[in-house]
Structure 1
Amino acid sequence: MSDMSLPNDPQEWVERFLGHLRLERHLSPRTLESYARDLNQATHWLETEKITAWQQLDQHQVRSYIARRHRQGLDPKSLQRELSSLRSLFRYLLREGVAAANPALGVRAPKVRRKLPVTLDADQISHLLDIRDDDPVAIRDLTIMELFYSSGLRLAELISLNLGDIDIPDAMVEVTGKGAKTRRVPVGRKALAALDRWLAVRSQLAGAGENALFVGVRGKRISRSTIQQRLRHWSIEQGVPRNVHPHLLRHSFASHLLESSGDLRAVQELLGHADISTTQIYTHLDFQHLAEVYDKAHPRARKK
């Protein structure tokens, strides 16, 4: 290591890495908490194994650590997340000149058994969104649900929307997604009508100077728990046979759009997925059909 002032303590490097994720990659607090939890577990294991520096780890030891976590009862999805955290940490250590290799790269966790996402069908969506109530809170709730289903937004993306992010003349919304990446997605006719109604009554709830598109009854930006609670309320009120939550509406958006269009790349763009393979979990289509759509859609996959 060329810079003798660099620390050797594993926990210090975890703190530096978390700072890098926060300041350079602009990850959300919840994602940072997840990284911290995973890497603190690994740091504790280093102490029990008398390993004093990250660069001493080899692939065999990483595999041993993952096997131990598996014996402790961690499911495959959690093991994959812990491995991903270790890989990301070592990419940072490589960048900083601290490690010579990434020992987590060749290690695989047990396969996650993927479940098809639960969705509502088009009739159930129509029934859920058939809310005829002039109360400002009800108008707000309907607009939130229409926007989730119209544009496939994540919960955090919807909460972070400001008034200036909605372009009603162009029927578009600018969304800040994971890793502070922005994208513009279309807003459907029904969602635009709901937005018009909400903007007409928003001042009855919003506090002075509040820039958030959606606000709670106290006038401030609406919270995650409030949205989740209100969606549960409407699923009961409208007699929908499932507990409605934001991701259920996002799943439904993606599934209905892909079933109708067959355009996997377009759905990937609208959902804000960096990797096309991630989009697969939002569909009811089998993998073979997804591969066929990909072959037809992707410029480097298309057959001449």
Structure 2
Amino acid sequence: MEWTYALDQYIAYIRDIRRLSPHTVSNYQRDLSAFAAHCDSEKILVFTVAQHDVRFYANQLRRAGQSSKTLQRKLSSIRQFYQYFIKIRQCYDNPALGVTPPKQGRKLPKVMDVDQLSQLLTLDADDPLQIRDKAMVELFYGCGLRLAELASLDLADIDRSAKQLVVTGKGNKQRLLPIGKMALEAIGQWLKVRSTLTSADEPALFLSRSGRRLSHRSIQQRLKNLAQQQASQQHLHPHLLRHSFASHLLESSGDLRAVQELLGHSDISTTQIYTHLDFQHLAKTYDAAHPRANRSRRDENSEND
């Protein structure tokens, strides 16, 4: 079968039978046409393509500067193309199976420095909404909360006398967090004026002007407005405050496990990326903490003798 006929048959299938969106069909067509042109230039027929041919093509694209994300999409297009012809029994092997692009590097998160945050939090709050917004920022930064976690907080989740907070995170997993002095003070100020916006039976901690639980969108917009009021050039959003919480805490304590628990991460590798932790710090932590890694001074001295 010629490449042109095979491509036309597959594109008709995903467009007319699977009814994929025009944008998706266009991506498939572009990716597969490029692969077909490569195979034509190498004189490789549609159903004689081998795994090493696909791997060679992927390596060519990588050397040409294609990103890992783009390579993943193009390899996926080739896999789906051959999977279709296996399904209708026109071929028996998928040459793209087992061919993977290099892992895409994760971007390090942006953080605000301590001075920037201190300046941001010097807001003179004199009306209920400003007082509420300051309390939200203090909680985001003071406890490292996700947007959904803060939005779902109820009055009952805060124990001011014990200085702690119950948070419901991903997978409905709960964790108990300490609340710092500045966050407690800000919450206390908010609770003094909260009753002006709602009735006594409303459970939500943070409320809108109409007395209802604040939506995610509203919280994001209020943070943006707060940054503008403080003439900050930084785009303020919940995850920036969470990143900053984790980074500043790790820099001060060096305790990766504690930061992992506070953030509610199930995998410590997530925390490692989240907090800019480099390999040297990890190695030092391992050497100092692991019983099989930590050599005694006596061992070191004996090697020096």
User: Secondary structure in 2 aligned to 1:204?
Assistant: coil
Distance 1:109 1:202, change over 3 A: farther
Structure whose CA Rg is larger: 2
1:157-168 residue pairs with structure 2 within 5 A? 157-168=149-160
Tell me, yes or no, if structure 1 residue 273 matches structure 2 residue 265.
Answer: yes
Q: 1:224 is matched with which residue: 216, 236, 249? A: 216
Instruction: Kindly provide the amino acid, as one letter, of the partner of residue 247 in structure 2.
Output: S
- Matched residues, percent identical? 56
Instruction: Kindly provide the amino acid, as one letter, of the partner of residue 220 in structure 1.
Output: R
Q: What TM-score do you get using the length of structure 1 for normalisation?
A: 0.63
Distance 1:301 1:254, change over 3 A: farther
Tell me, yes or no, if structure 1 residue 182 matches structure 2 residue 162.
Answer: no
Distance 1:294 1:255, change over 3 A: farther
**Partner in structure 2 of residue 111 of structure 1:** 103
1:46-125 residue pairs with structure 2 within 5 A? 76=69, 110-125=102-117
**Partner in structure 2 of residue 141 of structure 1:** 133
Instruction: Kindly provide the amino acid, as one letter, of the partner of residue 234 in structure 2.
Output: R
Distance 1:171 1:290 in 2: 31
Instruction: Kindly provide the amino acid, as one letter, of the partner of residue 215 in structure 1.
Output: L
How many residues are paired up? 217
Distance 1:78 1:213, change over 3 A: farther
Distance 1:160 1:294, change over 3 A: farther
**Partner in structure 2 of residue 204 of structure 1:** 196
Distance 2:242 2:229 in 1: 20
Extract unaligned runs of 5+ from structure 2. 1-23, 29-50, 77-97, 296-305
Distance 1:252 1:107 in 2: 38
**Partner in structure 2 of residue 282 of structure 1:** 274
Distance 1:159 1:282 in 2: 22
Query: How much does 1:107 deviate?
Result: 8.0
Distance 1:122 1:75, change over 3 A: same
Distance 1:77 1:202, change over 3 A: farther
**Partner in structure 1 of residue 183 of structure 2:** 191
Tell me, yes or no, if structure 1 residue 172 matches structure 2 residue 201.
Answer: no
Q: Is the 8 A contact 1:294 1:301 kept in 2?
A: no
Q: Deviations over 1:5-57 (max 9, x none)?
A: xxxxxxxxxxxxxxxxxxxxxxxxxxxxxxxxxxxx9xxx9xxxxxxxxxxxx
Q: 2:256 is matched with which residue: 252, 256, 264? A: 264
Distance 1:198 1:112 in 2: 43
**Partner in structure 2 of residue 254 of structure 1:** 246
Q: Is the 8 A contact 2:220 2:238 kept in 1?
A: yes
Extract unaligned runs of 5+ from structure 1. 1-40, 46-59, 84-105
Distance 1:179 1:135, change over 3 A: same
**Partner in structure 1 of residue 229 of structure 2:** 237
Query: How much does 1:121 deviate?
Result: 0.4
Distance 1:276 1:78 in 2: 28
